[in-house]
Amino acid sequence: MDIAALTETAKAMVAPGKGILAIDESHGTCKKRFDALGVECNEESRRTYRQLLITADGLNEGVSGLILFDETLRQKTDDGTAFPAELAKRGMLPGIKVDMGAKDLALHAGEKVTEGLTGLRERLAEYKELGAKFAKWRAVITIGDNMPTDACIMGNAHGLARYAALCQEAGIVPMVEPEIILEGDHTMEICYEVSVKTWKMLFAQLAQQGVAPEGTILKTSMILPGKACPQQADLDTIANKTIEGLKEGVPDNIGGIVFLSGGQGDVEATERLNRMNQIGGFPWALSFSYGRSIQRPALKIWSDNQENVKEAQAALAKRGKFNGLAALGKYSTDME
């Protein structure tokens, strides 16, 4: 394993003022988002839309890399440039989602376990050839009655660790993503407990599999009250609690930490990241790996009129830039 090369990639992913844009929606998720806006979802419409995202001028100001889906990694721009090569030309790192989705966990109704280890070594070798520098594997942890169980957290942590080891063996930086789902009426205290427990179990599994922390990126959710919890929290409480929980559950020498947006509003997700970086006092780079909260304005403009490519690209680059500033603690809502 080339730890120096992995560390260098991880550092570039969370370089000061930079974070990741996720555009790795599966066909099913992409169809849902397109359907909601009346856009047909097929291979060509997905290519056209993702080309718009990848070729947005100024996106590289705040974005260090993009997570692609298998199909997207193989697609080309109108002029025949492979998407990973186009990203490299623009100074951004191509990443790839490699898990095969969250499936029902046997004997545990309502819980999920992420699959995709079978044949992963061979797929990673091909992705490396195609230019992927980092990968993503998402595990889903749901809070509810008697949930999550240790079986769910441990099963997912083990899968994440096995995936991460295969990535590092292949020279690809693993982004390990345990997402604590925001839906539900659970309190912020419960989210704190579940998050810290999940991170601790995950890092124990990663260590056991021999995964180098400095060549690994943690992608996770913020510590938040459930969406339907009557007791919501203010900006400072969210920022402080998230920092406190991460300090308790995550080792100091991880390559970096990035957040998913997971149903937060566009401005909310930026503001909360910004607040954490203003508070500071933690050992890791704290940045973003947002999907919806960066893409949303651009997707809306493009779906209203597919001629509006430049306008959509400007909206995308703007959210990229604002989140890049938030990674430095230099964003302000006045900029909106």
Q: Hey, which residues does 95 pair with through a beta bridge? A: 67, 134
Minimum CB separation of residue 297 from ligand 13P in Å reads 13
DSSP secondary structure letter of residue 63 = E
Minimum CB separation of residue 217 from ligand 13P in Å reads 12
Query: Is 197 assigned a catalytic role?
Result: no
> Which residue's Cβ lies closest to ligand 13P?
291
Q: Taking each helix axis as running N to C, give the angle between helix 43-54 and helix 27-36, from 0 to 180 degrees, rounded to the nearest 10.
A: 80
Comparing CA positions, the residue from 280, 226, 283, 292 lying closest to residue 257 is 283
Q: What is the C-alpha separation between 74 and 110, in angstroms, rounded?
A: 35
Minimum CB separation of residue 225 from ligand 13P in Å reads 17
What phi and psi values does residue 221 have, to the nearest 5 degrees?
-90, 160
Query: Is 8 assigned a catalytic role?
Result: no
Nearer to ligand 13P, 277 or 293 (CB): 293
Nearer to ligand 13P, 25 or 86 (CB): 25
**How much helix, strand and coil, in percent to the nearest 5, is found in the chain?**
50, 15, 35
Q: Are 132 and 115 a contacting pair, CB within 8 Å?
A: no
- Active-site hit among 219, 241, 318, 321: 219
Nearer to ligand 13P, 182 or 201 (CB): 182
Minimum CB separation of residue 3 from ligand 13P in Å reads 26
DSSP secondary structure letter of residue 57 = T
Minimum CB separation of residue 210 from ligand 13P in Å reads 25
Nearer to ligand 13P, 65 or 334 (CB): 65
| Residue whose tokens read 């999550």 | 148
Nearer to ligand 13P, 100 or 125 (CB): 100
- Binding residues for ligand 13P, rule: CB under 6 A, are 22, 138, 177, 260-262, 290-293
Give the pairing of strands 112-114 and 102-104: antiparallel
Q: What is the C-alpha separation between 8 and 15, in angstroms, rounded?
A: 10
Q: What is the C-alpha separation between 51 and 305, in angstroms, rounded?
A: 16
- Active-site hit among 177, 241, 271, 318: 177
What phi and psi values does residue 109 have, to the nearest 5 degrees?
-55, 135
Residues involved in catalysis:
177, 219
